[in-house]
Amino acid sequence: MGRTWKCILFCVVTVILLSGCLFAILRQKQQRQQQPNIIVIMVDDLGWNDVSFHGANQIPTPNIDALAYNGVILQRHYVLPICTPSRTAFLTGRYPIRTGMQGYPLKAGERRAIPLGNTLLPEYLRKLGYATHLVGKWHTGYYSDYHTPAYRGFDTFMGYYTGYISYFNHTIEQDSHVGYDLHYDVPGNTSVMYNYEYMTDLITERAQDIISNHDRSKPLYLQLSHLAAHASDAEAVMEVRDEKETNATLGYIDDFNRRKLAGVVTAMDESVGKVVQALKEANMLENSIIVFMSDNGAPTVGLLENYGSNYPLRGLKFTLFEGGIRGTACIYSPLIKNPSRISNELIHITDWLPTFYSAAGGNLDDLEENFDGVDQWATIISGKETTRKNLLLNIDELLSGALMGKYKLINGATLENGDYYGDSGMNKLYPEYNVTNVLYSFAGSAISNISQVTLNTNYVIELRKAATVVCQNFASYPTCLEKCLFDIYNDPCETTDVSHQHPNIVKELNELINEYNKVTMHPVGGTVDPLSYPDHFNGTWMPWVKLSKNKIQFLSA
Ligand SMILES: *[C@@H]1O[C@H](CO)[C@@H](O)[C@H](O)[C@H]1NC(C)=O
Ligand SMILES: *[C@@H]1O[C@H](CO)[C@@H](O)[C@H](O)[C@H]1NC(C)=O
Ligand SMILES: *[C@@H]1O[C@H](CO)[C@@H](O)[C@H](O)[C@H]1NC(C)=O
Ligand SMILES: *[C@@H]1O[C@H](CO)[C@@H](O)[C@H](O)[C@H]1NC(C)=O
Ligand SMILES: *[C@@H]1O[C@H](CO)[C@@H](O)[C@H](O)[C@H]1NC(C)=O
Ligand SMILES: *[C@@H]1O[C@H](CO)[C@@H](O)[C@H](O)[C@H]1NC(C)=O
């Protein structure tokens, strides 16, 4: 071959290789541009009856309702009954029994965390090219730097490590030690952030900032974990932004404590609207998924009571009755093909990890083993029947339970907290539900701005009616000290134990629980390490254990 020919051949091969390369880069970029932004708004201790789309007029939540009616109302979204287990399930895609995180919520200064060997949701999404941010609550362990959010998949974290802080001072008391708990962390640098703004507003502003400064060549994962509507250590328990304003707008609620809970919730609802507006203004809403959920039911009375209401569901936070675990939830996305509907498909909080991974174009085979979550993306966007047939409610020292089809088994409930609590939210004197306010809320306006269809008022009223749980027969109910089997489809308020009619179903559900019992990791900890006290860290709750490289490798194995 002549020199010229060699040269031409070389050139042709080079051009082919280069264009192949370019094509791959372009395709990757295009794929990235199509990956949806994912925004999770997780609220704390919010009851079933503390939003207005479930039928009560007492607490108007027009922005959350706008998401619900324009998206899909997740009517059977099950969570764990307590913060730490619920958040662990969300972040790992696994039942918390697999990580020893199933029991009592973590105390400040407790040496326990999701073990480092678990890859968390933000880490998975980061591998798919996402920018990842957490704003607000963590509460899955922080004893070493390596257990904090900025070392576990989040590019930035602004928020608190513990279970709750006060709304203005941002402090929490543990064992008579009061410490400040607000941080701004990035990988390699955990630092304290001094700020005394109302926490709901601080979270909102940070989220708006992240959205408006987001580099849109990447998809965004943004998790807002609100303090609302958790009780605080303040004497008022429910700290509203402005009591005068609360009295003026919600004064029709006679019970002052319940009124303040309503004030905390309406401030959070306004935040939801502002975040949706920010997404619209950044031209990101068209390609976003927004999930709204509560981590567990309301503790109406008792420990950390917040005056929330799970009406008409039975039980409280900490229990496996529906009031503790049937969580308020909805999802909005322009990607949903047949929106404005109610889904009665069984969904569990562990399902979000594989669902988001799938929505982001990931291959589920990349995920580690022993996942309990199932991919619900097709169920959500096109109403396909879910593949989830059952779920483990939890196993801890006192309680266990599982759900299969329409039957739910609870073993070992305690007498405490198994009653019906909370306000019905029904009162003829309350202002009527105003659909116009929903459609023209921040969220409603932002959504209608990017959408071809406008919701019809009568249809909204119909949807709301269908999302309202109605029960008869509250007068008598079984205590379930030993066990109870409920048909939760026909008896959502758990008034009638049918275990004697269906011994085979009881047996089958117990077999399911026993299978999971074999893989249960028993929780350690529960005690507070005095070395963690804020006195050692200029009055702040901080990671207090220094880990060596070897130790981290050992913990990650
Ligand atoms: C860590 O972050 C703080 C607050 O953002 C900043 O002031 C400090 O300079 C950072 N330290 C390092 C080593 O980057
Ligand atoms: C906040 O700080 C002020 C001033 O130190 C104090 O009087 C108040 O009790 C604190 N509130 C809470 C909820 O800790
Ligand atoms: C709000 O109303 C309650 C009584 O319902 C009252 O005790 C409280 O002082 C009022 N707060 C303000 C700031 O007006
Ligand atoms: C609903 O609220 C709007 C203001 O946002 C008001 O103009 C309208 O009269 C209200 N509708 C009803 C039925 O109260
Ligand atoms: C959407 O909002 C933009 C700017 O905020 C406005 O110019 C446009 O008319 C709106 N479109 C619709 C359909 O509401
Ligand atoms: C210690 O805490 C106070 C607030 O309580 C803060 O103003 C001060 O900057 C902190 N000092 C250091 C060295 O971080």
Residue by residue, DSSP assigns 125-138 as: HHHTT-EEEEEEE-
For the residues 6-14, what does the mean pLDDT come to?
59
pLDDT band for 140, please (50, 70, 90 cuts).
very high
Ligand 6: which of 191, 196, 535, 538 to mutate, judged by most atoms within 8 Å of the beta carbon?
A: 538
Out of 83, 330, 480, 493, pick the active-site residue. 83
The residue among 305, 325, 307, 328 whose CA lies nearest residue 315 is: 325
* 528 φ, ψ (degrees, to nearest 5): -95, 135
Atom 14, ligand 4: residue with shortest CA distance:
434
Could you tell me if the CB of 243 is within 6 A of ligand 3? yes
Answer whether 253's CB lies under 8 Å from 58's CB: yes
Q: How far apart are the first and last CA of the chain?
A: 58
- Residues in contact with 206: Cβ distance below 8 Å, sequence separation at least 6, in sequence order: 135, 158
pLDDT surpassing 80 at residue 554: no
Sheet holding 183-186, edge to edge: 189-192, 183-186, 156-160, 131-137, 220-225, 37-43, 288-294, 329-332, 72-74, 341-343
Structure token digits, residue 531: 């070395």
Q: Considering only residues 556 and 496, tell me which one the structure prediction assigns the higher pLDDT.
A: 496
β-strand 37-43 against 220-225: which pairing, if any? parallel
Atom 12, ligand 3: residue with shortest CA distance:
244
Q: Considering only residues 240 and 25, tell me which one the structure prediction assigns the higher pLDDT.
A: 240
Could you tell me if the CB of 123 is within 6 A of ligand 2? no
User: How large is the C-alpha radius of gyration of the chain?
Assistant: 24
Closest ligand by atom to 170 CA: 2
Cα 189 to ligand 1 centroid, rounded to whole Å: 6
Atom 7, ligand 4: residue with shortest CA distance:
436
Q: Which atom of ligand 1 is nearest to the CA of 193?
A: 4
Least confident piece of the model among 22-31, 165-174, 186-195, 276-285? 22-31
pLDDT of the residue at 11: 55
Atom 13, ligand 6: residue with shortest CA distance:
538
Name 331's bridge partners: 72, 291
Could you tell me if the CB of 249 is within 6 A of ligand 3? no
pLDDT surpassing 80 at residue 18: no
pLDDT of the residue at 296: 98
- Distance CA(459)–CA(438), nearest Å, equals 13
Q: Indicate the length of the chain as a whole number.
A: 557
For the residues 387-406, what does the mean pLDDT come to?
95
Beta strands (DSSP E) in 53-126 are 72-74, 77-78
139 catalytic residue (yes or no): yes
Structure token digits, residue 464: 């709301």
Cα 435 to ligand 4 centroid, rounded to whole Å: 8
Closest ligand by atom to 236 CA: 2
83 catalytic residue (yes or no): yes
Q: Which atom of ligand 3 is nearest to the CA of 246?
A: 1
Out of 139, 147, 170, 230, pick the active-site residue. 139
Could you tell me if the CB of 14 is within 6 A of ligand 4? no
pLDDT band for 440, please (50, 70, 90 cuts).
very high
Q: Which atom of ligand 4 is nearest to the CA of 437?
A: 5
Name 288's bridge partners: 37
For the residues 89-97, what does the mean pLDDT come to?
98
pLDDT surpassing 60 at residue 7: no
Q: Considering only residues 137 and 11, tell me which one the structure prediction assigns the higher pLDDT.
A: 137
User: CA-based angle 544:547:553, to the nearest 5?
Assistant: 145
Cα 441 to ligand 3 centroid, rounded to whole Å: 27
pLDDT band for 15, please (50, 70, 90 cuts).
low
β-strand 131-137 against 220-225: which pairing, if any? parallel
